[in-house]
Amino acid sequence: MCLIYEALLLTAVILTAGGLATVLAQIAGINRPRILTQIIVVIVCAGYYAVQWQRRGQTLPMKTWQIRLESTSGDRITPLQALLRMTLATLGYLTAGVSILWVLIDRDRQFLHDRLAGTRLVTVAAPG
């Protein structure tokens, strides 16, 4: 359920960033705004996840489902881990969900992108 919520939220981020990029391209008089729009969307999406994961270890959907991302040592993740996790997760999703299906055979029930990036998802207690 958390992944579905993430997808909905990410869709809103993509549409907003894409719309702003298109407007900026029109203002600047760029004839082919597609590449600019794609670059801005990727940067905004990466920034969204990197900031959330490094600040609190959680995006809004992760907070809702009481999941936190941390390094395997229990610390906050580094910028390099965030970038590596995003890249590997994207590749894993594009290859028929291999990164997600990995959880079925992983001894610690971790996704492949978490295993390779040195991160893990943990359940956190509800506040109060």
What is the per-residue pLDDT for 126? 75
Average pLDDT, rounded, for the chain = 93
Which two three-digit tokens encode residue 65? 């489902």
Whether the CB-CB separation of 123 and 63 falls below 8 Å is answered with no
Beta strands in 1-128 (DSSP E): 67-71, 119-123
Tell me which residue of 123, 82, 121, 84 sits closest to 103, measured CA to CA.
121
Residues with Cβ within 8 Å of 117's Cβ and at least 6 positions away in sequence, in order, are 77, 81, 84, 85, 88
Percent of the chain with pLDDT over 70: 98
Domain boundaries, the chain: 1-56, 66-128
Please give the torsion angle defined by the CA atoms of residues 17, 18, 21 and 26, in that order, rounded to the nearest 10 degrees. -150
Supply the DSSP symbol for 78: P
Whether the CB-CB separation of 111 and 103 falls below 8 Å is answered with yes
For 106-124, the pLDDT digits (tens) are 999 999 999 999 999 999 9
Which two three-digit tokens encode residue 79? 């910028």
